[in-house]
Amino acid sequence: MFKKILSLLLVVVMCAGMCMALASCSDDDNGYAITPVAKENIKIGLITLHDENSTYDKNFLDAMDAAVASLGLNKDTQLIVKKNIPESDECYKAAAELVDAGCQVIFADSFGHEDFMMKAAAEFPEVQFCHATGTKAHTSTLPNYHNAFASIYEGRAIAGVIGGIKLAELEAQGKLTAANYDADGNIKIGYVGAFPYAEVISGFTSYFIGVKSGYSMAKQMSGSMPTNSVVMEVKYTNSWYDEAAEKSAAEALIGSGCALMSQHADSYGAPTACQAAGVPNVSYNGSTKSVGATTYLISSKINWAPYYELMINAVIGGYKIQDEYCGGFAEGSVQLTELNRDAFLTDDYYNMAVNALKMTDEVEEIFSSYSMTKDGEPIKSYMANVHDDPAFAGDTEVIKTVGEGERAYYVFQESKFRSAPYFDIIIDGIKVPQN
């Protein structure tokens, strides 16, 4: 049995070798070093889009508190937080005021803050500006402007495996109906996404790959070779936070027969709809058990505290800060939150899920030709839009060929050329709205 588990795990985690490359997305050496700051003199600025009432911003605020505490800094005198700063010139104004207040390093948490952080970075070269989820640091000539993200797709994939195990349990317990299958006998699952943006596409694709492998693994472990697989339908809300739209999108997907749901948007809309319909939900950004007592399965999230500590320590020590930071499980940047026993019907499948969580050490090469195809073919070459050029033309070959001849396979190198995701291929088995 153990061998079987191992071989199946390999479907997801095939081969080794890129972990370190992922951890340091960029290593251009421009000799930039900064003046060290005494620890007792360091002052940190943090700009957030909303306040702790938003799960997204709370994640950043909590991480900063944790980082400041772990570094032994005085929160009252060494940290200035500016909340509710919109994605407009207000962000530049807030950053400039933080500089005036003596901050040597300033963080911002929202994608739309990027241009205004860069405006401030150009004006205050002696201050370090660190922006989460942005895409422009690696092409910018500003040495004091930096981006950060996490290889969250790894967390998504593991959370997907848990979802797949749950699907196998539903099937084994006879809880699925004819409506849950498509014409080819594949189980239908649903996903509520915010925008058709690479960050979202990368997230749902890795999740989908995880679900497929988790389902297949669980079926084999319970003694049957699966002949079917999983198909996923995606609905976009075109907003990062729209509780009503997320809820109704989830309800529509559940109504069309989706047996498992997940989402990438910041409200409780989709998890609430899942609990009402009794459909299991793989969550994001943190546990949503409070609204999904028996349907919330697990959640993946980014923990920003390791990144904050690294950057603050770099400023204290005067070390060169890399343009891009992209942490994974190893750095503690990607986390899985509590697995919910109450969402499982049997101990067997629950224990299977508990064991699957141990795969975090080995998860690599999720986007490989073993796990995905496009139009029935492996993806052997893809020019991704890494540099955000205005024409959105692909500019970087991101597929790596591993091995030779018959045994060659192909890997999409996500988050290698910049920290923010750029995987934007709609692979076989996933259905997105056509426009």
Partner 1 sequence: MEEKSNVSQTDAVTAEPNHKKVREPRFHIVKRDVTDKKTPYIVRAIAVASAFIICTILTVLLVDTNPFEYIGLMLSGSFGTFRKILNLLQKLAILLCISLALAPAFKMRFWNTGAEGQVLIGGLACAACMICLGGVPDALLIPIMAVAAIVAGAIWAVIPAIFKAHFGTNETLFTLMMNYVAMQLIAYFATIWENPKGSGHIGVILDGRFPKLFGQHYILNIIIVILVTVAMYVYLKYSKQGYEIDVVGQSENTARYIGIDVKKVIIRTMAISGAVCGIAGLLLVGGTDHTITPQTAGGQGFTAIMVTWLAKFNPIYMIMTAFLVVFLETGASEVVSKFSDSLNGSYADILTGIVLFFIIGSEFFLRYQIKMNKKQEEMN
What is the binding site for partner 1 (CB under 8 A)? 50-53, 75, 80-84, 86-89, 93, 96-97, 100, 111-112, 114-116, 119, 135, 195-198, 200-201, 238, 385, 388, 390, 392, 424
Which backbone phi and psi does 70 adopt, to 5 degrees? -70, -25
Of 171 and 424, nearer to partner 1 (C-beta) is 424
Taking the least distance from each CB to partner 1, the nearer of 168 and 200 is 200
Terminal alpha carbon distance of the chain: 47
Q: Which is nearer to partner 1, 96 or 330 (CB)?
A: 96
Strands 324-327 and 145-150 come out as parallel
Burial class (CB in 10 A: 0-12, 13-18, 19+), 276: middle
Smallest separation, CB 239 to partner 1 (Å) = 8
Distance in Å, CB of 74 to partner 1, minimum? 13
Q: How far is the CB of 147 from partner 1 (least distance, A)?
A: 13
Residue 98 or 167 with smaller CB distance to partner 1: 98
Taking the complex as a whole, how short is the minimal distance between the CB of residue 142 and partner 1, in angstroms?
14
Closest separation in Å from C-beta 140 to partner 1: 13
Query: In angstroms, what CA-CA distances link 405 with 18, 230, 365?
Result: 21, 30, 19
Report the nearest approach of partner 1 to the CB of residue 80 (Å): 7
For 97, other C-beta atoms within 10 Å of its C-beta total: 14
Distance between CA 126 and CA 21 in Å, rounded? 29
Nearer to partner 1, 221 or 384 (CB): 384
- Close Cβ partners of 294 (under 8 Å, ≥ 6 residues apart): 275, 278, 340, 342, 343
Q: Would you state the torsion angle of the CA atoms of residues 120, 122, 126, 128, taken in this order, to the nearest 10 degrees? A: 60
Min dist. Cβ of residue 432 to partner 1 (A): 11
158 in helix, strand or coil? helix
> Of 50 and 138, which has the nearer Cβ to partner 1?
50
The helix (run of H) or strand (run of E) holding residue 263 is strand 261-264
Smallest distance, partner 1 to C-beta of residue 394, A: 11
Per-residue HEC secondary structure of 329-370 comes to CCCCCEEEECCCHHHCCCHHHHHHHHHHHHHHHCCCCCCECC
Nearest by Cα to 330 from 314, 306, 309, 298: 306
Residue among 172 and 425 whose Cβ is closer to partner 1: 425
Cα dihedral 364→362→131→432 (10° resolution): 50
| Nearest Cα residue to 295 out of 264, 335, 265, 263 | 263
> If you ran DSSP here, which 8-state letter would residue 173 be given?
T
Distance in Å, CB of 108 to partner 1, minimum: 14
For partner 1, which is the closer residue by CB, 134 or 164? 134
Please identify, using beta-carbon distances, which residue of 84 and 355 lies nearer to partner 1: 84
C-alpha closest to that of 310 among 332, 280, 291, 292? 332
Q: How far is the CB of 430 from partner 1 (least distance, A)?
A: 15
Give the nearer residue to partner 1 in terms of CB position, either 126 or 404: 126
Structure-block tokens of residue 46 = 């943090």
Percent of residues in the chain assigned helix, strand, coil, to nearest 5:
40, 20, 45
